[in-house]
């Protein structure tokens, strides 16, 4: 073999990661773990201080009562592994992927996550406080008793998950998207942000308290039980959604859209929702007493056992129902006849109902 070929083979071998298999650790193997694969290893009560994990892989490993303090994880992954009662404190994660990981009793304090993706994560008892998360994703995960407190979550995708006991407190939410998921006991408190959405989800007992969310959405979702309390959801979309036994107290839903939605046994008295859009919606046993719905569009809506005493529907577009259906409400200046197209067009230009305006 020529010297050049031997040198080439040595160079190629040097590019392959080292493999550590079947080892047990109670201290960090090194301050920097780079280009190494750990297989069938266990880490018990290890305190990782300012360690770096770069292009490392953990396969079928177990971390029990580990503490990661000011560590950096980059370009690394974990598969078929377990994290039991572990703490991450002021850690930085970038381009990290977990697949089929089991993690219980986790605490994340501060730090930053960027491009942290979890697929088929089974996790219970997480406490995440003051974390800055960007471009994170959770797909096909089972998450139980999670508490996200403070911090900022942006461009976060939660898809096809099962959540049970999920609370978010005093956090900033920007493009915080849940889709095709099942969620029980969801609570948002004191949250602010733009584009927080639950699309095509099944929600049981979801509650919002003192939140201000712009362009929020529950489109095509089923929401059973819960409440919107002391919250402002201007321009929220509930199109094609189904709400059952949902209450609104001191809530502001100005210019929200419920087109094609179905509301059953809901208590929305004193709701502030001027320019609300209820096009082709169906309301059954809904209490709208004292609500401010001035300028609403209820074209084609079906009302059955709806309480409208003291409801302000002035200047609304109330087509498809006999005038008697709105008799308990104030309908001064409302349109009941859709044959006057010019009048209708002028109304739309002035009122701009729903978050999509005149579209």
In this prediction, the residues of the chain whose per-residue pLDDT falls under 50 are 1-14, 341, 357-359
User: What whole-number distance in Å separates Cα of residue 34 and Cα of residue 330?
Assistant: 71
pLDDT value, residue 338:
64
pLDDT value, residue 151:
97
User: What whole-number distance in Å separates Cα of residue 278 and Cα of residue 293?
Assistant: 10
pLDDT value, residue 147:
97
Dihedral sign, Cα of residue 157, residue 123, residue 162, residue 263: negative
pLDDT value, residue 324:
84
pLDDT value, residue 325:
86
CA atoms within 13 A of residue 298's CA, in its CB half-sphere? 28
* Residue recorded with tokens 């920007």: 174
Q: Is residue 1 classed as helix, strand or coil in its secondary structure?
A: coil
Interior angle at CA 262, CA 258 and CA 264, nearest 5: 120
User: What whole-number distance in Å separates Cα of residue 145 and Cα of residue 284?
Assistant: 34
CA distance to 161, 178, 198, per residue, from 137 (Å) = 11, 10, 14
Report which DSSP code applies to 71.
-
């Amino acid at each position: 073999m020529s010297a050049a070929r031997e040198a080439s083979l040595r160079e190629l071998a040097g590019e392959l990661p080292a493999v550590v298999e079947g080892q047990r650790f109670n201290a960090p193997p090194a301050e920097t773990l780079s280009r190494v694969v750990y297989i069938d290893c266990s880490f018990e009560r290890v305190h990782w201080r300012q360690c770096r994990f770069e292009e490392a892989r953990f396969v079928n490993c177990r971390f029990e009562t580990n503490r990661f303090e000011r560590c950096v994880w980059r370009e690394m992954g974990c598969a078929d592994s377990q994290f039991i009662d572990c703490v991450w404190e002021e850690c930085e994660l970038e381009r990290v992927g977990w697949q089929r990981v089991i993690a219980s009793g986790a605490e994340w304090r501060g730090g930053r996550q960027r491009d942290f993706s979890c697929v088929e994560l089974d996790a219970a008892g997480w406490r995440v406080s003051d974390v800055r998360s960007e471009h994170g994703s959770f797909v096909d995960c089972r998450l139980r008793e999670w508490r996200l407190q403070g911090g900022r979550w942006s461009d976060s995708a939660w898809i096809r998950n099962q959540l049970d006991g999920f609370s978010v407190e005093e956090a900033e939410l920007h493009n915080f998207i849940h889709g095709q998921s099942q969620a029980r006991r969801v609570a948002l408190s004191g949250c602010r942000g733009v584009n927080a959405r639950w699309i095509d989800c099944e929600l049981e007992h979801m509650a919002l308290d003192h939140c201000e969310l712009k362009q929020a959405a529950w489109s095509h979702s089923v929401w059973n039980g819960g409440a919107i309390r002391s919250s402002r959801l201007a321009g929220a979309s509930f199109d094609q959604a189904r709400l059952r036994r949902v209450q609104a107290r001191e809530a502001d839903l100005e210019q929200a859209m419920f087109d094609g939605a179905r509301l059953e046994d809901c208590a929305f008295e004193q709701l502030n929702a001027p320019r609300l859009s209820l096009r082709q919606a169906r309301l059954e046993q809904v209490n709208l007493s004292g609500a401010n719905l001035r300028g609403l569009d209820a074209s084609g809506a079906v009302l059955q056992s709806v309480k409208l005493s003291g409801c302000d529907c002035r200047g609304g577009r109330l087509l498809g129902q006999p005038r008697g259906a709105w008799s308990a409400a104030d309908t001064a200046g409302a349109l009941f006849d859709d044959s006057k197209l010019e009048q209708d067009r002028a109304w739309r230009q002035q009122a701009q109902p729903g978050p999509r305006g005149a579209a």
